[in-house]
A and B are shown apart, each in its own frame.
Chain A
Amino acid sequence: MSHLPVADFATDFDHTDAAWVNDPYPIYEDLRARCPVAHSDRYGGAWLPVRHEDVTAIANDHEHFTSRNVVVNEGRPGPQAPPAPIGVAPPITSDPPFHQLARRLLLPAFSPKAINELEGYTRELCTQLLDGLGDVDHLDAAVDYAQHIPVGVIAKMLGFPPEDGDLFRGFVHIILEGVDLPFEERIASFEPLGAYFEAQIIDHQEHPRDDLTDFLLNVEMNGQRLEMRHVFGTMVLLLAAGIDTTWSAIGASIWHLARTKADRTRLVDEPELMPIAIEELLRAYAPVTMARLVKEDFDFQGHPMKKDDWVLLSFPAANRDPGVFERADEVVIDREVNRHAAFGLGVHRCVGSNLARMELRVALECFLERFPEFHLADESAVTWARGQVRGPRTLPLVVG
């Protein structure tokens, strides 16, 4: 279900276009010089700001933009869809002031203290994955390693059977990558996911235990338990928001290190640099682009935005803005001044950022410890995810 190829990204951009999927950075740079807010008639009308200041302004402007849907697709939330300010998957699809309530509920489960407690489990998981590979000289770091890490950790947090990992990844794929399906097909494709979550919720109601699912079923907001559709939406969100994103960040980091011997050796020799290095890898290869819908017709810096137009909120483009970052297009592995926006800006700042950072750091530490030497087996065999989450989906390496 591909769209026609894009001839000019300034007037007809499409984030599922092959050129964008393979390498979006030259496109941002070109648009920054020419626009800097691009437009497209695709998806029923969409805008793309690429400057850091415009992304910041829109992320903080709840008067003109809504998060009611954050994944650009062919449809619009219909009249029967849960309306703003709640939306389908609180808090990411919620607007203020409801947003703050839904978000606060989740924050303690993802605080630095709570996440530290999962580091041991994560390290064990990474070690097991690497041990399971046996004595190899080739591997696919995206398929054999990176993708399993966020799945294992979130399944553990939610208390879902670890062997259902492939199932979750299938669901996440539909949500994030099936964006150019016709609207009815897209909605129908969500059914198996609904059935799976319902079964997990019933199982937790019948067999209570101490995990994030139980927490969501019992936590109170304004003195009342959450409506079932709120619990459901949040569980979908945690899978959708936590898996492809972190998989992408781990994969893109390994991809960079496979191509950049100097950075790889430096991290092997100076492991204490890792916390600074992961911030730079998150800046340069920020995996997540969000979206907003325009609430009512209005003029954004001379651009006539229409009600229900999409706005792609490109944190990856903001992170490459040379007005904010020196040598913006280079990975400076020990970059100390790095006010990047990989986890978003404003009230929707990624709830899972402490978790994602921990997973990324541990995944790289374990990988480098096991394989201090590795390089790409075949540059042209690397494939990248299409849509709003970007990272390698096949990453063949020669290791050792």
Chain B
Amino acid sequence: MRVTIDESRCQGHGRCYSIAPGLFESDDLGNGVVLGDGIVASDQERHAHLAVANCPEGAVRIEGA
């Protein structure tokens, strides 16, 4: 499983990096950035799903679930 952020949709609500600091961080403007290659360890899967479910712009996605 891998997380991505669609930059064209992200508006910096900051929900992803608050909910899943192990998967996302903020850039200097407050927009979400995927940490590393975005591969989700099994103990982070719940956080990945919550990040998707809480992004108001629908910018966080999961690939290869």
Residue ranges of A at the interface with B (Cβ–Cβ < 8 Å): 104, 107-108, 110-113, 275, 279, 336-341, 343, 345-347, 349, 353-354, 357
In the bound complex, do residue B54 and residue A338 qualify as a contact, i.e. CB atoms below 8 Å apart? yes
Report the bound CA distance from A346 to B9 in whole Å. Answer: 8
Given contacts A339-B53, A339-B55, A340-B56, contact A349 B26 (CB under 8 A): no
Query: Are the C-beta atoms of A353 and B28 separated by less than 8 Å?
Result: no
**A-contacting residues, B27-65, CB 8 Å:** 28-30, 50, 53-58
> Which residues on the A side are within 8 Å of B58 (C-beta)?
339
Q: A111-B26, A339-B55 known; A347 and B11 CB under 8 Å?
A: yes
15 interchain pairs (CB within 8 A)? A107-B12, A107-B28, A107-B29, A112-B26, A112-B30, A279-B54, A337-B53, A339-B53, A339-B58, A343-B13, A345-B57, A349-B13, A349-B57, A353-B14, A357-B14
**Minimum-distance CB pairs A-B, first 4:** A349-B11, A107-B29, A337-B53, A111-B30
The answer on a CB contact under 8 Å between B54 and A337 is yes
Q: Is the interface of A mostly helix, strand, loop or mixed?
A: helix
CA distance A337 to B60 in the complex (A): 14
List residues of chain B with CB within 8 A of the CB of A112: 14, 17, 26, 30
On chain A, the residues within 8 Å of B28 by CB distance are 107-108, 111, 113
B57 pairs with A108, CB closer than 8 A: no
Roughly how many angstroms separate A357 CA and B54 CA in the complex, as a whole number? Answer: 15
Complex: A104 Cα to B58 Cα, angstroms = 21
A55 to B: closest C-beta gap in Å: 11
Which of the four size classes fits the interface of chain B?
10 to 19
Q: When the two chains form their complex, are residues B12 and A336 in contact, meaning their CB atoms are under 8 A apart?
A: no
In the bound complex, how far is the Cα of B14 from the Cα of A200, in angstroms?
32
Q: Chain A's nearest CB lies how many Å from the CB of B15? A: 8
**If the complex has contacts A104-B29, A338-B54, are A275 and B18 also in contact, measured as CB distance less than 8 A?**
yes
- A394 and B57 CA atoms in complex are apart in Å by 35
Query: How far is B27's CA from A4's CA once the two chains are assembled, in angstroms?
Result: 49
Nearest chain B CB to A377 CB, angstrom units: 35
Contact of B29 among A111, A338, A346, A347 (CB under 8 A): A111
Is A107 a contact partner of B50 (Cβ separation < 8 A)? no
Which residues of chain A are within 8 angstroms of B14 by Cβ–Cβ distance?
Answer: 112, 353-354, 357
Chain A residues with CB under 8 A of B50: 336-337
Q: Do B56 and A339 touch across chains, with their CB atoms under 8 A apart? A: yes
Other A-B pairs beyond A107-B12, A113-B28, A349-B11, 6, CB < 8 Å: A111-B29, A336-B53, A339-B55, A339-B58, A343-B56, A345-B56
Whether the Cβ atoms of A354 and B30 lie closer than 8 Å is: yes
Asked whether A108 lies within 8 Å of B56 as measured between CB atoms, the reply is no
For A346, the chain B residues whose CB sits under 8 A away are 11, 57
Residues of A within 8 A of B55 (CB): 339
**Which residues from B are CB-within-8-Å of A110?**
30
Cα A108 to Cα B18 with chains together (Å): 18
Contacts of A113 in B (CB 8 A): 26, 28
Q: What CA separation (Å) do A24 and B5 show in the bound complex?
A: 35
A89 to B1, CA, bound (A): 44
Given contacts A108-B29, A112-B26, A113-B26, contact A349 B54 (CB under 8 A): no
Distance, CA A275 to CA B54, complexed state (A): 13
B1 to chain A, nearest CB (A): 18
Instruction: Given the known inter-chain contacts A275-B18, A349-B12, A354-B14, please indicate yes or no for A341 contacting B26, CB distance below 8 A.
Output: no
CA distance A107 to B58 in the complex (A): 21
A113 to B52, CA, bound (A): 23
The closest CB in chain B to the CB of A115 belongs to B30
Q: How far is the CB of B57 from chain A (nearest CB, A)?
A: 7
Q: How far is the CB of B45 from chain A (nearest CB, A)?
A: 14
Chain A residue contacts of B13, Cβ below 8 A: 343, 349, 353
Give the CA-CA distance A341 to B54 in the complex, in Å.
Answer: 10
In the bound complex, residues from chain A placing their C-beta under 8 Å from that of B15 are 279
| Interchain nearest-CB distance for B6 vs A (Å) | 14
